[in-house]
Amino acid sequence: MRISSTWSQQLGVNSLIDQQAKMNHTQIQLSTGKRIIEPSDDPAAAVQVVDLNQTIKQTEQYNSNIKTARQRIELEEVVLRSSVEVMHRLRDLGLQGLNATNSLGERKAVAQEMELLNGQLVGLANTKNSNGEFIFSGFKSDQTPFVETGVPGSGTYVYGGDGNFRQIQISTTRQIADGDPGDTVFGIPANAVPIPGLATNVFEAVAKFAADMKAGTPNVNSLTDLANSLDKMLTTQSSVGARLNALDTQEGVNNDYVMSMNSTLSSVEDLDYASAISKFNLQQTTLQGAQQAFSKVQHLSLFNYL
């Protein structure tokens, strides 16, 4: 079998290219600090790296969801706190107005303040978040929760949202509500004593109370409605606090999990620098030797001696 000079030189070139590629690969490993640059470096470990990275990204997304939920729930907490303060003042005014020693003029003054507070309460119930969504409308976040129907001052309010709780995923197995439907917060509780045919929410109860106060005939049942509605707000407020605590706890669990996964990922894909540097120096020496050998071999020809 005859071996041509061209073929012999091509073998030398291919060997140099292969050695250069190996050295470049090691150089990339050194610059990135990663042992696995291509799946072929370690197929089993490469699959594990993909799975670990996906798990880490998913858990980080859960923490992003937690931040979103916390912002919404904290806003609800602020609104509920203000609403509870308004309700306390309304209850005090109701007790004051029910006192038989009050004159009609004094009761009208009480009624006027109650109407102003009722408007403030409606405004709180119709609060929007930073995205322009109504926080007490359930899934219908683009619909105003509570709107007065009929002529202004009619005292009749309808709920425009729905009864759904928006759930946000905060772990692979856990969801949490980022708010509460308005009818569960501002509606008259089932165990209350509502004004027959009128009070289906706290705003109607306040409007009815104020109207009766103006007429000089305040009804103690209205005070019962306010007391029960206040209890309902306080219950929701307690639930909101519990959810905020749950978010903090889950965020800590997620952070610990991400840290653990990053540690595992590091053990799988991180480079052993001492071994890689030794390997790189050996490859560099091998390449230099191959280059020198090729330079000498390519001049071995009979034409050099003729």
- pLDDT at residue 121 in the model: 97
Q: What angle do CA 157, 159, 162 make, to 5 degrees?
A: 175
- pLDDT at residue 83 in the model: 97
- pLDDT at residue 151 in the model: 75
Are the CB atoms for 167 and 175 separated by under 8 Å? yes
Domains of the chain: 63-262 (1.20.1330.10)
From the list 38, 35, 48, 36, the residue with the least C-alpha distance to 264 is 48
Per-residue pLDDT tens listing for the chain (306 residues): 455 555 555 555 555 566 666 666 666 766 666 767 777 767 887 888 889 999 999 999 999 999 999 999 999 999 999 999 999 999 999 999 999 888 999 999 999 999 999 999 999 999 999 999 999 999 999 999 999 987 777 788 989 999 999 999 999 999 999 999 999 999 865 544 444 444 678 999 999 999 999 999 998 888 888 988 999 999 999 999 999 999 999 999 999 999 999 988 878 776 655 666 666 566 566 655 555 555 555 555 545 545
- pLDDT at residue 278 in the model: 64
Quote the distance between the C-alpha of residue 178 and its chain's center. 9
Are the CB atoms for 258 and 60 separated by under 8 Å? yes
- pLDDT at residue 150 in the model: 77
In three-state form (DSSP H/G/I as H, E/B as E, the rest C), the secondary structure along 233-279 is HHHHHHHHHHHHHHHHHHHHHHHHHHHHHHHHHHHHHECCHHHHHHH
3-state secondary structure of 171: strand
Give the CA dihedral 89, 94, 100, 102, nearest 10 degrees. Answer: 50
pTM here is 0.77
- pLDDT at residue 306 in the model: 52
3-state secondary structure of 16: helix
- pLDDT at residue 62 in the model: 97
Question: Structure tokens of 186?
Answer: 């501002």
Contacts 24+ apart (CB under 8 A), 141-149: 141/166, 145/182, 145/186, 146/122, 146/182, 146/186, 146/201, 146/203, 148/122, 148/203
In three-state form (DSSP H/G/I as H, E/B as E, the rest C), the secondary structure along 131-164 is CCCECCCCCCCCCCCEEECCCCCCCCEEECCCCC
- pLDDT at residue 196 in the model: 47
* CA dist list (Å): 48 to 35, 51, 255: 13, 5, 20
Taking the C-alpha atoms of residue 191 and residue 250, their distance in angstroms, rounded to an integer, is: 35
- pLDDT at residue 272 in the model: 55
Question: Structure tokens of 149?
Answer: 């129907």
In 10 A of CB 97, how many CB atoms? 25
- Sorted by sequence, the CB contacts under 8 Å of residue 251 that are 6+ apart come out as 63, 66
DSSP-derived letter for residue 188 is P
Taking the C-alpha atoms of residue 71 and residue 80, their distance in angstroms, rounded to an integer, is: 14
- pLDDT at residue 195 in the model: 47
Are the CB atoms for 83 and 240 separated by under 8 Å? no
Taking the C-alpha atoms of residue 54 and residue 87, their distance in angstroms, rounded to an integer, is: 49
- pLDDT at residue 155 in the model: 84
